[in-house]
Structure 1
Amino acid sequence: MPRLALSDDFLREYAGLQKQVRKEVDGAIETFRQMTVPQLHASKGLHLEKLEKARDGRIRTIRVTRSYRAVLLAPDDGTNLFLLVHVAPHDEAIHWACKRLYSTNDATRGLEVRNVEALEQVETYFETKADSAPARLFAGHSDTVLRDLGLDDQMVRLSRLCVTREDLAVLAPPMMPRDQYEVLEFLSAGFSPDDVWEQLIVPRGQTVRRAEEREPVSFGEAIRNTPDRIVEVSGPGELERILAEDFARWRVFLHPTQRRVAYHPGYAGPSQVTGGPGTGKTVAALHRVRHLLHHGGEDGRILLTTFTNAMADALRDSLGLLLGDADGGLLKRVDVTTVDSVAARVIREARGKAPRPLSAPAEKSTWTRVRARHDVPWNEQFLAQEFRNVVLAQGIRTPEEYLRCVRRGRGTQLGRVQRARLWRVLQDFEADVASRDAATYTQLCDQAAGILREQGPRYRHVVVDEAQDLHPAQWRVLRACVAPQTDDMFLVGDPHQRVYDARVSLRSLGIPVQGRSARLRLNYRNTEEILRWSTALLNGRDITRLGEDDAADGAPDTLNGYHSELHGRIPTARGFASQDQELRALVEQVREWVDQDGVQPADIAVCARFNTLVDAVINRLRREGIPAVAVKDSPGPNVSGVRVATMHSMKGLEFRCVAVAGVGASVLPFAPQITPAETDPVQHQTDLLAEHCLLFVACTRARDALAVSWHGDRSPLLDPVVG
């Protein structure tokens, strides 16, 4: 009987077929799997056919319907393993198949595909263009270095003709093999060959550095070496699971770097994964939970935590999909919730009830009362930040500790007399809040961490998503939830998406990740055009690495090498004289996405800085006959309507098309939330950076299309992308 493997390209095409055609594909696959290889060649129904004009002699096609054909790659190593790579209308399928060439990457040992006809045409064009160029993009790397990293003769020739990174982008997959393109992307971003080897080749399991010393790989081995793009069907149940209507690529395919961190056999302590938006950090966290459920002991409970309740709900649903029916019972061993919810539960169980969480307006009014009672020169914002970022961040309990503490991240110097006076104000705030049986969320975490240290750990493993926004008090809760041991904590996050002031030194909190950190750089969500446009918003901004509370702890975090293989339209940015004009254009943009691009309303999002504009957008869309719902109302996947949210609420979400509205000078940066430079120059820069990151987060929620708009004066945060 023949064995069958499916490529991710085929599965993506399959998901876009009409339901009746998918049924026919299912039937053809099942018939294929039931036949012997000789029967396949003799079958008049499937009609396994070799194409005379195909560039790859292993290409075959089979009949799906009278008008559709599927394209397969036949084995040439004596095995019966066929690879299903494409499905399309008859003429389109034949045209596609004749241009493709499959090969084995010499370094990654995986199977790859190229559009060989298109590459030959580009090579002719590039030769003429490059003749007059004073320098070439990869002139600093020898042919030997490129071949050691997996480039074959054709790709070495083409790399020599690239003058700029834009030339390289022309060769992007599906024209050029993905693995070879990724190597050139990293080199063009300034990474050394050694860095590229460690980042891209080692995760594939390659140990032989020199190309001439490597042994050839068979067709079957190449397929097994490509788990990020190919899945072998092990049986009827597996086939049905893969082809199910709720198929999600992340459940089946992982990039080698993702797989290496998610299915690591055992970390000696806390481990950390970072990466820009869309690089699959959350996917890696979910797969890590799956691995720990299978290999971490039958009675070991797991805490999977994130920043908001909405994101926790999404994680719970995604984990259920990943585990499936076969492993569904394992979900009972996982608590999926926020750190604040864990803290409140710990306090309730220990004391019978927990203090009432203090809202932001209530906290501000409390600071106003306390400040008036003490008649101090510091404003409410300064007092709140001092309490949160110094006292609660360091777990300070006594005036002596406060007098001795190092106030890192605070630019205003305080002498002993000032600190003593300030301590009395901070203590008065605590007493005022406690008298109403209330507490800030950070206070709740501070209290819960103390209880957990007394009672002992509650979990065997803790997995943390959106780690960049957690406060030190929240980290102390998580640290106390699990004993220091192998595989105790697995953290994922992106410091470029840090929209809250949450600088923290993990090492000082007993969460050392040195030597157990990895970075993801391949973006699966955004087009390269959206990615580059959004990344430019952070140009010139030093981003402190995750887990380090000061840039002095190490070099700033960068997005070098961060890229996407997807391409599309360049984002638009437009200004208007009034809000009414901006909303009118917004309606036209949404209609264009729905009517011309065929995007479903639920795949479109509009976000703004504050709820006032969010409400105005919802009302305007509905008035124009476009269904719209607020993200804060948690609309289910079956609820139609454009999703509308604040920028903060967009964290962790993604949509095909996103409109970011109201990006005006009075809103970003929002002056009331920016500490004046004369009050605290360090905090001033931190607050400004959070505004840049917030806009970056909002823009990177878009997969295919991004439209940014404003009325009145444009936000200066847009200056790097709007000249």
Structure 2
Amino acid sequence: MPRLAFDIAFCAQLGKLQGSVKQGVFDAWEKFQDLTLEQLFKDPGLKLESLKRARDPHIRTIRIDQGTRGVVLAPESGDTYVLLRVMPHDKAIAWAVKQKASINTVTQAVEIRDIAMLDELTPAYERIAPAREERLFAKFSDGDLSALGVDGTTLRQARVLTTPEQLEVFAPFFPQDQREVLEYLAAGFTVEDVWRDVVAVNLADRTAEPVDTTDYETAIQRSRTRIALVSASDELRDILDKPFAAWRVFLHPSQQKVAYRASYSGPAQVTGGPGTGKTVVALHRVRHLLRHLRDGDRILLTTYTNALVAALRSGLADLVEDETLRDRVDIMTVDAFAGRVVSTSRRPLRGDEEQGRWEQAAHATGFTGTAQFLAQEYKHVILAQNLRTCEEYEAAERKGRGSALPVRVRPLLWRTVEEFTGRLAADGLRTYLGTCAEAADLLDGSGPRYRHIVVDEAQDLHPAQWRLLRAAAPGRPDDLFIAGDPHQRIYDTKVSLKTIGIKVTGRSTKMRKNYRSTHEILSWSTALLHGRPFEELADDSRHETLLGYRSALHGQGPETYAAQSQSAELDALVTRVRSWLDSGIPSADIGVSARFNKTCEQAAEALTAAGVPAVRLRGDTEVAADAVNIGTMHAFKGLEYRCVAVIGVHDGALPFPKAVTPADVDRLQHETDLLAERCLLFVACTRARDGLYVSWSGRPSRFLLEAVL
């Protein structure tokens, strides 16, 4: 019996499709389930039509609803058809006639390329190309490229390219796997690197037999990372109604390999930039571990903030439908876990109380340094190194601190810290990190609580929090699974996992492909961080880079707006949001982010006054389903929207002077704080999938001036 499968490019459209179109897709799928091929071709409602002037007779169209058509791969043999795109009628025809399907002789998978556009571009670029030895892929032989899956057609087209910028022009029209190979090579990776990281991961279940380039039925079966075969109506409804459900069937082979590896011999780590799927991989890893969990064992899924906890809880519910299984996973922040272990009634110290408490302690001991210096010394030296005595503190290195502290002064500072912590205890107060340190001590005595721990957004955790997690799971295979990205470190915490006893050597994977933001948004946002050093999570003596970090999607570039006043900036925001809504984007797919709560409140008031539903995101508030979501840049961490407006990006907001340690107090901390502020803007901008709008009033942030303006 025939069936209709779904290409990953169609699934990428799901968030943009109207309800009537989704219903039309479902109805078409049902016809493929119920009718014979002969009946399908005769069905007047489906209209499975061949196309005049088509570059490939295997590409046809079907009717989805009034005015909308689907483009399908319709092989001559086999029963499986693949829905590639859904578009308005005329656009669908125009796109379909330019496409060509083929089967890659290396990956053995189905490929689709815009052959008409490539044929049009190639001669034009050939005419302006320099000598062959000066072109982009000159140092790679035809044999090397062929071994990586680049076929003869793509090879001829790639040979005319001179710069990475020209490759960007061609990239949207190349077959996906071949495009990825070329992008890696252009980014500076070796043939061996590309074989290992891009090609070999696709070949795990491939045969060594010669490839039949006409056997699409077999090739479709071998394209599971890009083509979904849906067998039940409930499954299809789930995919159409919940875009996450669509993407969960499309783990890239490199992601699948990490998430579903049978076992790791110890802690494992996955890193990568925004949108590379780290959180999805972490959720899939939880799913895998649940399938092999023994009676009585539990899993801790943890992260840094309550908002991220809510997102993880929702994602796991989508991925693991069995509620009994999900109940064996505790999802909470590390700080919440520490509070559960300690079981104390002492109230956590608020951020606005801390300075006064340090000033009181300094006054009591006669220490003349600033409260800011004391707080940072306590956090970055004493708690970070788990120093328990004055003698240990006197002998300790102060790595990462850019201010001198004579040894003779250290006993006085230690007494000031004891005064600070003693007064907190007497007043029924505690710090979050102090609670983590106390909880780690308790677990060292009582034993672990969890069989497995999965950590998301790992880059923002403090060494005291890591020691707690290390104590919470026994040191054995599959104890810790860690996902993070140093480029999204928005708090002033640094850690070397190996110094905590968490060694991931040989069990670390880097994701480089962004599945969220368009190439244009990604390139613009990445420029904010260009040239800045980022220490690896596993080893602070080595630096993480964005080499090879790229997007799978293409679209419009970011829009910037310089307003004369704050009120004019808010008026422009309303206009921009209205234009997104008028284009058919649901309000819940729009996010507005700013550095400060006050700016968020003003944005919410302006949108509400204009009749646009808007809600504030606070703490563990879940994303609103029927309103524009407004939140600080910190609150937006881990979230994503089709369109994002980042407002108030003016001088004095980013960097925010109060968040940056003065250089004369601590030079190294000053640089760390500046980088955290820069990362904060990077994180906010990379929440956007299709549209990014950045605005300011007065003078723009120096980050924008230095990088993208």
Same fold (TM over 0.5): yes
Alignment partner, residue 179 of structure 1 = 177
Paired with 1:148 and 1:559, the residues of 2 have a C-alpha distance of 26
Paired with 1:708 and 1:145, the residues of 2 have a C-alpha distance of 43
TM-score by length of 1: 0.91
* 2:323 paired with 1:336: no
Alignment partner, residue 698 of structure 1 = 684
CA offset digits 1:166-195 (Å, max 9, x no partner): 21111223x211111111111111112221
Moved more, 44-53 or 693-702: 44-53
Amino acid at match of 2:100: L
Paired with 1:605 and 1:425, the residues of 2 have a C-alpha distance of 44
Alignment partner, residue 659 of structure 1 = 645
How far is the alpha carbon of 1:486 from its aligned partner?
1.3
Moved more, 135-144 or 477-486: 135-144
- Tell me if structure 1 keeps the 8 A contact 2:307–2:622: no
Structure 1 residue aligned with 2:311, among 296, 305, 314? 314
Moved more, 4-13 or 227-236: 4-13
CA RMSD of aligned residues (A): 2.7
Structure 2 residue aligned with 1:428, among 419, 425, 444? 419
TM-score by length of 2: 0.93
Alignment partner, residue 531 of structure 1 = 522
Matched residue SS, 1:273: strand
Matched residue SS, 1:387: helix
Say if 1:3 and 1:609 are closer, same or farther in 2 by CA, change over 3 A: closer
Matched residue SS, 1:140: coil
Moved more, 648-657 or 458-467: 648-657
- Tell me if structure 2 keeps the 8 A contact 1:208–1:214: no
Structure 2 residue aligned with 1:544, among 531, 535, 541? 535
Paired with 1:391 and 1:278, the residues of 2 have a C-alpha distance of 35
Alignment partner, residue 461 of structure 2 = 470
Matched residue SS, 1:710: strand
Alignment partner, residue 118 of structure 1 = 117
- Tell me if structure 2 keeps the 8 A contact 1:607–1:661: yes
Paired with 1:33 and 1:305, the residues of 2 have a C-alpha distance of 42
Structure 2 residue aligned with 1:447, among 434, 438, 453? 438
Paired with 2:244 and 2:405, the residues of 1 have a C-alpha distance of 58
Structure 2 residue aligned with 1:360, among 351, 359, 364? 351
How far is the alpha carbon of 1:378 from its aligned partner?
1.8
* 2:637 paired with 1:670: no
Matched residue SS, 1:390: helix
Paired with 1:630 and 1:66, the residues of 2 have a C-alpha distance of 38
* 2:295 paired with 1:280: no
Paired with 2:360 and 2:6, the residues of 1 have a C-alpha distance of 66
Identical amino acids, percent of aligned pairs: 48
Question: Mapping of 1:55-454 within 5 angstroms?
Answer: 55-62=55-62, 69-75=69-75, 79-88=78-87, 92-130=91-129, 135-173=134-172, 175-205=173-203, 215=211, 218-244=215-241, 248-297=245-294, 299-324=296-321, 327-348=322-343, 353-454=344-445
Paired with 1:649 and 1:414, the residues of 2 have a C-alpha distance of 36
Paired with 1:476 and 1:418, the residues of 2 have a C-alpha distance of 28
CA offset digits 1:355-405 (Å, max 9, x no partner): 211001111110111122233232111110110111111211111211222
Matched residue SS, 1:501: coil
- Tell me if structure 1 keeps the 8 A contact 2:107–2:199: yes
Alignment partner, residue 606 of structure 1 = 592
How far is the alpha carbon of 1:107 from its aligned partner?
3.2
- Tell me if structure 1 keeps the 8 A contact 2:73–2:81: yes
- Tell me if structure 2 keeps the 8 A contact 1:107–1:206: no
Structure 1 residue aligned with 2:556, among 564, 569, 575? 569
Paired with 2:424 and 2:392, the residues of 1 have a C-alpha distance of 22
Paired with 2:673 and 2:91, the residues of 1 have a C-alpha distance of 54
Paired with 1:289 and 1:269, the residues of 2 have a C-alpha distance of 16
How far is the alpha carbon of 1:439 from its aligned partner?
0.9
How far is the alpha carbon of 1:251 from its aligned partner?
2.2
How far is the alpha carbon of 1:673 from its aligned partner?
2.5
Amino acid at match of 1:585: A
How far is the alpha carbon of 1:681 from its aligned partner?
1.8
Say if 1:207 and 1:316 are closer, same or farther in 2 by CA, change over 3 A: closer
How far is the alpha carbon of 1:62 from its aligned partner?
4.9
Alignment partner, residue 629 of structure 1 = 615
How far is the alpha carbon of 1:90 from its aligned partner?
5.4
How far is the alpha carbon of 1:592 from its aligned partner?
3.0
Moved more, 192-201 or 297-306: 297-306
Amino acid at match of 1:263: Y
Alignment partner, residue 498 of structure 1 = 489
Where structure 1 has 5 or more consecutive residues not aligned to the other structure, the ranges are none
